[in-house]
A and B are shown apart, each in its own frame.
Chain A
Amino acid sequence: MKILVTVKEVAEVEDDFEIDGLGIDEAYLEYDLNEWDDYAVEEAVQIAEAGDDVEVVSVTIGPERSEETIRMALAKGADRAIRVWDDAFEDVDLLDVAAKTRLFAAVVEQEDPDLVLTGVQASDDGFGATGVSVADEVGFEWAAVVNELELGEDVANVRRELEGGVEELTEVDLPAVLTIQTGINEPRYASLRGIRQAQRKEIAPMGLGDLGLDASALDSPIELTGMREPESESDATIFEGSAEETAAQLADVLREKGVGAQ
């Protein structure tokens, strides 16, 4: 069995940052493995550990820098990795869902996995749509927001986490794409040994040509035209001063609201 896990290196914005045109200055960004993808990797690795002959391949779209993050997936147990990138990406401000779908669908067609796991969403662009879109493109079944997974012969039994503490139990035909929700498992930390082994694992670079695509695959009718700090609608009273002073002011408010008066 082969499991393909899509992973993304996401940018996290520091507390204080500045917007420069349509982006945030590199100086204010930190990069990390997308939280939801970390759970997807863990789920794939747990399936591999529980069964014979399961290969876990992770795939990412990202520049060379992202190899550092992708190695985390390898250190946690993925067998090999594919990194899709091309000079043509440099000019793209926003890779929309359709473009990502074309890229991942091409990888799925080459790798022919039985199962594809993705995170529910990426914390940077927050589209929350790529996994299900890829499923439609390659003709796989799918389930979104999965917080429990049990694999059978031809089906996956999943729980989908709905709103308000309700879960849906669904049976999905394989091959399928599942978008993984946090909490499905406990992602491991990469061990020193895993990190060392990851250095020797393959991260295959793939350009558009390798996927049978050309730069038109990145064309998108969705254009990023503005970026700003959200205007705060807040009329919050912010207490200023030392911890002691602010705590005292907050305590006054709380007492006024009758809190703490036994």
Chain B
Amino acid sequence: MTVLAVADHRRGSLRDVSYELVTAGRQLADSTGGDLHVAVISGNVEEFGEKLNLDGVDTVHTVANGEEFNHDVYAGAVEALYAELDPTVLLMPNSVNGLDYAPAVANALDLPLVSDAVDFDYDDGLTATREMYESKVETTVDVDADQVAVTIRGGEWPASTKAGDAEISAFDFEPEGELGSRVLGFEEVVGGDVDITDADVLVSVGRGIEEEENLELVEELADALGATLSSSRPIVDAGWLPPNRQVGQSGKVVTPDVYLAVGISGAVQHVAGMKGADTIIAINTDPNAPIFDIADYGIVGDLFEVVPELIEQFN
């Protein structure tokens, strides 16, 4: 079979998931002795093409068109490549850009879509592992179709790094008509009082804190520990802390010595920002909370009981 994987890049750099897509794509291709094609669309495709010439890749298709991601260009280019290669599996990233074109491509090509896969297998057909209910359950889905589109979750496959000897082939693509959306620019979410990426110790608070008034309690803990306060997304969404305190996929990536997650479930987008911490500690009432899967130490307990005791220990 043929596998076509579509790389992801932004502002001049391939994103990690591109290298992970190569590993995932090779895994699928291997199960049937097939070929792995990788597509890279827009930006400096020559440079990207060389970087994607990795072990296990048969052909890299470079599509020069525009600088940055535009979903109309991506959707059109992937559909055109699909028509040419007729792949059994079309692999795309479940990144923010993937969310913006993969479903349209799947629909246009009439392909079943398995999104946010964390594992898969191919044997007569695709069997994929997905999570449901905020990672509290893991499911298996079987796809009864000759061809399928899959988006993969970042960080689930190791990155491919070993150079290869793929053919690099330029693919001509021009979108038809005017583009229905136009990217006008980019902006960084503004910094603020503190840089949580500098902190050695982070006390991070999540929705378990319930009310804005209760933040005082974790502030006290941070003070007692000489730590910096950070948070999961709902706290920032609610306006209780400024955006520069948010840890996660759309927030900051932090690598402190100690990360103390208080009332945080450990959603995949949160974990993306803190899994590199040396020591991860969780306080959570739910013994099944995904945060415990990556924690080094944990207390299954009520933060409103544990945190005051912990403050006591340090004062």
Q: Is the CB of A98 within 8 A of B236?
A: no
Whether B186 pairs with A239 at a CB distance below 8 angstroms is: no
CA gap between A160 and B148 in the complex, in Å: 27
Contact across chains for B182 and A238 when beta carbons are under 8 A apart: no
A135 to B141, CA, bound (A): 25
- CB of B129, distance to nearest CB on chain A (Å): 9
Q: A24, B133: Cβ atoms under 8 Å?
A: yes
With A223-B141, A253-B297, A260-B226 known as contacts, the answer to whether A165 contacts B279 (CB < 8 A) is no
**B107 and A239 contacting across the interface, CB-CB below 8 Å:** no
Query: Of A124, A133, A142, A243, which one neighbours B106 at CB under 8 angstroms?
Result: A133
Contacts of A13 in B (CB 8 A): 133-134, 136-137
In the complex, which of the residues B133, B186, B286 contacts A124, with contact meaning CB atoms closer than 8 Å? B133
Q: In the complex, how many angstroms separate the beta carbon of A42 from the nearest chain B beta carbon?
A: 12
Which residue of chain A lies nearest to B127 when distances are taken between CB atoms in the complex?
A225
Which of A69-77, A179-187, A189-197 faces chain B?
A179-187
A209, CB-defined interface residue at 8 Å: no
Q: Which chain A residue shows the least CB distance to B144?
A: A221
Separation of A167 and B142 alpha carbons in the complex (Å): 36
Contact of B83 with A by CB under 8 A: no
A124 to B134, CA, bound (A): 7
- Contact between A126 and B281, CB atoms less than 8 A apart: no
What number of B residues sit within 8 Å (CB to CB) of A? Answer: 99
B85 within 8 A of A: no
Question: How many angstroms from the CA of A143 to the CA of B183 in the assembled complex?
Answer: 11
Residue of A nearest to B307 (CB): A247
Are B106 and A246 interface neighbours, CB within 8 A?
Answer: no
B180 touches A173 (CB 8 A): yes
Confirm or deny: B27 has a beta carbon within 8 angstroms of a beta carbon on chain A.
no
Complex interface residues of chain A between 78 and 125 (CB less than 8 A to chain B): 94, 96-98, 101, 120, 123-125
Q: Interface readout for A5-26 with B: 1 if CB under 8 Å, 0 if not? A: 0000001110111010000100
Complex CA–CA separation, A143 to B290 (angstroms): 30
**Of A143, A221, A253, A257, most B-chain CB atoms within 10 Å:** A221
Q: Is A1 an interface residue (CB 8 A)?
A: no
Bound state CA distance, A15 and B208, in angstroms? 13
B233 touches A183 (CB 8 A): yes
What's the minimum C-beta distance from A61 to chain B, rounded to whole angstroms?
A: 17
With a cutoff of 8 Å between Cβ atoms, the chain A residues found around residue B107 in the complex are 97-98, 101, 133, 136-137
Contact bitstring A214-235, B, C-beta under 8 A = 1, else 0: 0000001111111111101111
Q: Is the CB of A167 within 8 A of B189?
A: yes
21 A-B residue pairings within 8 Å (CB atoms): A97-B107, A127-B116, A131-B103, A133-B113, A136-B75, A162-B186, A163-B15, A163-B95, A165-B189, A166-B186, A166-B189, A223-B143, A224-B140, A230-B131, A230-B137, A230-B290, A234-B294, A239-B299, A243-B302, A243-B309, A260-B224
Interface residues of B (CB under 8 A from A): 10-11, 15, 69, 71, 75, 94-97, 99-104, 106-108, 112-116, 127, 130-145, 148, 151, 180-189, 201, 224-227, 233-234, 236-239, 243, 249-253, 257-258, 279, 281-282, 285-288, 290, 292-302, 305-306, 308-310, 312-314
Give 13 A-B pairs besides A182-B237, A246-B301 with Cβ atoms closer than 8 angstroms: A16-B288, A129-B103, A132-B103, A133-B107, A163-B10, A168-B183, A168-B185, A182-B234, A186-B239, A228-B137, A230-B135, A239-B298, A246-B306
